[in-house]
Amino acid sequence: MTPVNETLGQYSELFMLLAALTYTVSFIAFAADLVRARKVTTAPAEPAQEPELAAAGTMGTVQWTHGSGAGKANDHKDAVVDDSMGYKALRRPAARIGVAVGILGLVVHAAGVVTRGMAAHRVPWGNMYEFTTTGAMLVMAVFLTALLFRDLRFLGTFITGLVLVMLMAGAIAFPTPVAQLIPALQSYWLIIHVSVAVLSAAIFTLTFALSVLQLAKTRQEKRGKPRTAGLLRLVPSPVSLEQLAYRLNAIGFILWTFTLMAGAIWAEAAWGRYWGWDTKEVWTFVIWVVYAGYLHARATRGWDGTRAAWLSIIGYLCVIFNFAVVNVYFPGLHSYSGL
Amino acid sequence: MTTTKPPSGKTSLEDVALPRLGPAGMLRWAWRQLTSMKTALQLLLLLAVAAVPGSLFPQRPANPAVVTQYIQDNPGTGPWLDRFQLFDVYSSVWFSAIYLLLFISLIGCVIPRAVQHWKALRSQPPRTPRRLSRLPEYGTMTVAAGTALTPDRAIEDAARILRQRGYRVQLGDTGTDLPSVAAERGYLKEAGNLVFHTAMIGVLVSIAVGGMFGYRGQKLIIEGEGFTNAEPGYDSFFPGTSFNPGALVPFSLTLNNFDVTFDRNPASYGNPIDFTADMTVQDSPSDAPRQETLRVNEPIGFGGTNVYLIGNGYAPEITVRDGEGNIALQGPVASLPTDATYNSTIVIKAPDARPDQLGFVGFFLPTAMVDENGVAFGSDPDPYNPQLNLNSYTGDLGLDDGNPVSVYQLDTTELTQLNGRDLPDGGIVLGAYQTYELPDGKGSITFEGLKRYVALDIVYDPGKAGALVFTTLALLGLIITLTTARRRVWIRAGQHEDGRTMIEYGLLARGEDHSLAKEAIRIGSALTAHWNKANDQNRQATP
Ligand code: HEM
């Protein structure tokens, strides 16, 4: 076996540190954006641009008009965000800086993760330190990718803040030198199972944030405060938050189902049984059932809305518990946290 | 959002509060409650909660010894926890009740839905509603007068375009003033959902099949030794409830050599990085022997029965001579590692020793060092300075009274101790190739050499393939159901008095659908583009 490359390992740690510093700048920028949005007045009352729906019109001999059904366009007069998360002419320079610096941070972060893997000649997810740093990278990557489809910059503070916490936790709570894998982890299932697990956890991170904001926004509306006030001003309506959370949770659930299956196949190869209720397996199962419950709740009268949001939050708390508490404190076959 | 309820769960509590239900009515009521979406959700959440205690308390199937210890350490709460089956959570009455109810509910839910879907698959899309403008997506088109587009032509064109987009279409009211087309797509959504839920039942059945007809056994094999697959050869053997001994494949294997590599990088010194067992195996006594390598994550298979490398350790080779000078025991004795440095406990029993039986209990250290207090400790998992530290006993070892006794335990309460740290003769400390003479001429013990052993799990699970097939089906069904949208489209055409052709369309989603508006725009664009092009061509053709 090729010995580990320690110089490269040190470079990796340096990259992680630089990434953390960059994310700090991004975090501050996103926070400034939220604070600033409380005061800024909306641009002149131009009608909201609905990019997709502007397709109708007269062409040649055919005249076409299209309308989305009643009750959809419930945009508040001074709301800065409509229900499809399109922002009206609102200049948000701080948010732009946040995104740009965040991308830079992600590049440096990725360099840190890749050099770690190269130093050890394997995928960089073999112990708690590596789960945390790679996981943080995926959280950031999923967030920035989601920005291509929806303007979720209102989540920037939460995401960059969480990524910073993860990087710090990796460096302080789980420092682990670059090392080769113990035999139990030497399997291509490590590549498949763990990468998909970490990716779905990253997606659940996003939906967790959306669900929390959904609850906050619902409360704000119930209290009768105008939904345009306060730090939540940039946050869209509970309904659109819930819908986006649902779509992401559905993707996350598919990936988690795959994680569960791949884990079972690996367990079969390693221990001769595909399911044995090991603590880690128990929690993976619990998470799966909670999100299955969430998907059901969305289709059950009386359980959508706030209750479904709670299930999404509970599911994510289980993910965190599974990762941070079960890996470290619970004895079991999966005891390779490297601590 | 749109709310879906299973057809069987049409009834909600209010509807059911009918006077005088009668026993049959009660049963029907209970069945409807059980198969309702709300009950399914509650049972799912209950299942999640019920699974948790199994990770908080030690579980018998995984670790019976730890459970026994736990009950001893907690005499107050332990027996109570045991009474509520908290050490056997996953086979407990309450856990089983939850998942069985859930699966009964699932069956009661899936069957009527499958029947309904089967009918839906063979029926036509529902007729065009009178007021399309009430639908969530609605639009109109006006085609200028003087084009050749009659309402019937328009509907035919629309039907063709919808069909191209994957819709199943049904023309209606053709030949009347207001012909229309009804279209539906996304039947796969419901099909995927049904496949997913049905596959869940398949997974459960597969697990049950494995538990009934399979077996699992454990065997420890020292280098140079072999094993033939038969029930008496196992150290421990757990057959399924309906296990048939004929299912034991008659393979055999011999462990030639076991190699271990430890990490010598200073930062991670002593971690294992490779375990390799060289085996000679035979599928059956009549087959030719072949060489195989057994490693962690890479089991050896014998037609459905797999052999897994689960553990390993050291087996010091010991010779015990008794008080009469005869060899009472000779050969390797497996020691049990207690930590990552392979500091191991060892029990040596020499029941053939005369005049008195001899027993030894102590530690094996692969690389012994002595700390400042003179206590030996192990410092490396490789055998750089192997050492045995033993206490010795004499008397009746209790092996002859027929009770099964673990080879790794020696009950010393009835024995006379000869050696020990507190005794005048001290404990026995044996380096490699050394011999120690027991006090009072009771005999001697020699540390002759060192071998390694592997701990194997041998498993036959006939439900495994089914579980894989059904989970794969479940995953596919899930992907399909969560990524397809079920939509209905209706388009109606008519002619205005002034000769213009008027077209209106409406879309409706069934279930979650976030891109219905996009689909409406796409259909609208396709129709507009089509008629524009057709009109242009017409104009050119008829100057
Ligand atoms: C083993 C227990 C169950 C699990 C793990 C489970 C899981 C799921 C999941 C993941 C979904 C969303 C994906 C899809 O639409 O296929 C779903 C949907 C659904 N399930 Fe289940 N389910 C279970 C039991 C049940 C039972 C007992 C019922 C009937 C009472 C039921 C009725 C439904 C229905 C009607 C949907 C469609 C919801 C929609 O339209 O979005 N499920 N289930």
Task: State the pLDDT confidence band at B13, using cuts at 50, 70 and 90.
Answer: very low
Give the model's pLDDT for residue B366. 92
Give the model's pLDDT for residue A78. 47
Mutate to test the interface with B, among A6, A13, A53, A64 (most CBs of B within 10 A): A64
Query: pLDDT, tens digit, for every residue of B140-176?
Result: 988 887 777 888 999 999 999 999 999 999 998 887 8
* Distance from C-alpha of A45 to C-alpha of A22, rounded to nearest angstrom: 37
Give, using CA atoms, the residue closest to atom 24 of ligand 1: B106
* Distance from C-alpha of B289 to C-alpha of B300, rounded to nearest angstrom: 14
Give the model's pLDDT for residue A1. 54
Query: pLDDT, tens digit, for every residue of A104-153?
Result: 999 999 999 999 999 888 888 888 899 999 999 999 999 999 999 888 99
Query: pLDDT, tens digit, for every residue of B262-316?
Result: 888 777 777 888 899 999 999 988 999 999 999 988 999 998 899 999 889 999 9
Residue B202: name the closest of B472, B541, B490 by CA. B472
User: Does the distance separating the beta carbons of B40 and A257 come in below 8 Å?
Assistant: no
Give the model's pLDDT for residue A34. 85
Give the model's pLDDT for residue A59. 57
CB of A55 sitting under 6 A from ligand 1: no
DSSP 8-state symbol, A321: I
The interface predicted TM-score (ipTM) is 0.86
Classified as helix, coil or strand, B95 is: helix
User: Does the distance separating the beta carbons of A298 and B1 come in below 8 Å?
Assistant: yes
Residue A253: name the closest of B267, B481, B232 by CA. B481
Query: pLDDT, tens digit, for every residue of B63-99?
Result: 888 888 899 999 989 999 999 999 999 999 999 999 9
Task: State the pLDDT confidence band at B204, using cuts at 50, 70 and 90.
Answer: very high
Mutate to test the interface with B, among A66, A122, A286 (most CBs of B within 10 A): A66
User: Does the distance separating the beta carbons of B140 and A182 come in below 8 Å?
Assistant: no
Lowest mean pLDDT among A186-195, B8-17, B41-50, B513-522: B8-17
Q: Where are the beta strands (DSSP E) in B333-401?
A: 336-337, 344-350, 357-365, 368-370, 376-378, 387-395
Give Cα B508 to chain centroid, integer Å: 40
Give the model's pLDDT for residue A235. 82
Tell me which chain A residue has its CA closest to the CA of residue B480: A254
Residue B484 has pLDDT above 80, yes or no: yes
DSSP 8-state symbol, A70: T
Mean pLDDT of all residues in A214-224: 85
CB of B106 sitting under 6 A from ligand 1: yes
Strand partners, A197: none
Task: State the pLDDT confidence band at A52, using cuts at 50, 70 and 90.
Answer: very low
* Distance from C-alpha of A170 to C-alpha of A109, rounded to nearest angstrom: 13
DSSP 8-state symbol, B367: B
Residue A74 has pLDDT above 50, yes or no: no
* Distance from C-alpha of A241 to C-alpha of A158, rounded to nearest angstrom: 15
Q: Which atom of ligand 1 is nearest to the CA of B40?
A: 27
With a pLDDT cut of 70, the percent of chain A lying above it is 81
Residue B531 or residue A136, greater confidence: A136
The CB density around residue A3, as the number of other CB atoms within 10 Å, is 11
The CB density around residue B425, as the number of other CB atoms within 10 Å, is 14
Task: State the pLDDT confidence band at A75, using cuts at 50, 70 and 90.
Answer: very low
Token pair, residue B112, equals 């009527």
Residue B213 has pLDDT above 90, yes or no: yes
* Distance from C-alpha of A45 to C-alpha of B486, rounded to nearest angstrom: 38
Long-range contacts of B154-158 (CB under 8 A, 24+ apart): B154/B493, B154/B501, B154/B503, B154/B531, B155/B179, B155/B180, B155/B181, B155/B491, B155/B492, B155/B493, B157/B527, B157/B530, B157/B531, B157/B534, B158/B491, B158/B493, B158/B503, B158/B505, B158/B527
Residue written as tokens 């005249």?
A63
* B48 → closest Cβ in A189, A270, A290: A290
Give, using CA atoms, the residue closest to atom 25 of ligand 1: B106
Give the model's pLDDT for residue A336. 45
Residue A141 near residue A130, CB atoms below 8 Å = no
Residue B239: name the closest of B60, B467, B460 by CA. B460
User: Which residues contact residue B286 at a Cβ distance below 8 angstroms, ignoring those fewer than 6 apart?
Assistant: none
Query: pLDDT, tens digit, for every residue of A225-248?
Result: 554 556 777 788 888 899 899 999
Residue A160 has pLDDT above 90, yes or no: yes
Is B457 part of the contact surface with chain A (CB cutoff 8 Å)?
yes
The CB density around residue B389, as the number of other CB atoms within 10 Å, is 18
Measured between beta carbons, the chain A residues lying within 8 angstroms of B273 are 1, 180-183
Strand partners, B238: B216
Residue written as tokens 């390797």?
B332
Letter for the amino acid at A211? S
* Distance from C-alpha of B251 to C-alpha of B284, rounded to nearest angstrom: 5
Give the model's pLDDT for residue A288. 98
Residue A2 or residue A198, greater confidence: A198
In the Cβ-directed half-sphere of B347, how many Cα atoms lie within 13 Å? 12
Residue B103 has pLDDT above 50, yes or no: yes
DSSP 8-state symbol, A41: P
CB of B193 sitting under 6 A from ligand 1: yes
Give Cα B3 to chain centroid, integer Å: 32
Task: State the pLDDT confidence band at A327, using cuts at 50, 70 and 90.
Answer: confident
Give the model's pLDDT for residue B32. 86
Q: Which atom of ligand 1 is nearest to the CA of B35?
A: 30
Give the model's pLDDT for residue B100. 95
Query: pLDDT, tens digit, for every residue of B435-473?
Result: 999 988 889 999 999 999 999 999 999 999 999 999 999
Q: What are phi and psi of B469, to 5 degrees?
A: -60, -45
* Distance from C-alpha of A216 to C-alpha of A229, rounded to nearest angstrom: 13
With a pLDDT cut of 70, the percent of chain B lying above it is 94
Mean pLDDT of all residues in A203-222: 91
Residue B501 near residue B493, CB atoms below 8 Å = yes
Residue B520 near residue B132, CB atoms below 8 Å = no
Measured between beta carbons, the chain B residues lying within 8 angstroms of A278 are 62
Letter for the amino acid at B4? T
Give Cα A297 to chain centroid, integer Å: 21
* Distance from C-alpha of B317 to C-alpha of B330, rounded to nearest angstrom: 7
DSSP 8-state symbol, B354: S
Strand partners, B293: B278
The CB density around residue B175, as the number of other CB atoms within 10 Å, is 8
